Structure 1
């Protein structure tokens, strides 16, 4: 009888440990999803700013249509990339970031545009949004790394395997030119 109670108590403790680990992994996964959605919030803000920026630049630099078309196309691709496919979303957003950088480089050739109050305000808002996106990406990567570590360590790795938890994809630079130091010319 005592042996049966000990076995029962051990089974209850084991079940409670499994439940605790599972719930911890679910919480960590939800934190990753929340961090990803925070990136989406900032990306939406950027998507909303880009058409205004393109229209303002178009008035001054209409013949730079290739650059403007690249920004518009990259924005459309980024907006249509599925948030559930992290890799595709990251790739599309990287393309959009590059197109925006190209646009800002082209703007340097137009002193009247750089002095335009509407453009300056849009540029400031876009810069602030890009900074927020950068911080959101950093938070996402930190949260994803914590989750990936949680599902990799023993004994949680056993529970993670049983319930099919998979690593969260990290936001990484895919364009080698983004790793290079910027060239400053005076």
Structure 2
């Protein structure tokens, strides 16, 4: 599967479970190829703190690690650096700046400096807008197709962040093995077997 196809699925209105296994495996491979994350290459310290706070509110730690434990922020930095086009990365970073602008307007301080209740209030607003945007995305895509407009449609920032958080979590060892109960590396390999033997 091509990188652009994976990114298109990431920002589409399809639910996570509808993503083809090929796309999920491509993202797991991206994590593996990166090895231990070499440090942030796109997000600055404040942007990273904002992403970490939001993603942990989306998937908090319970009896298993949350988004922070799965290093979702570092996965997201990897996507912004190695997978996104420059324009897409710029759009995402503008979205992060908008979170702080909205937070300062509502509460007089940056998002990371707000209380959890204030952060949750703003996130609920952004999530409502994101869901409305996702609902309208299908109609917009059909309209653009009729006009033979092949340029990428602008994406809602919070919808993209939410999707990346979910994908980053569930392609991590923590999310894939602990939460989904799947194995990234199968415990055994059966090899080839005659069809009759396989049916027994």
Shared fold by TM > 0.5?
no
The structure with the larger Rg is 1
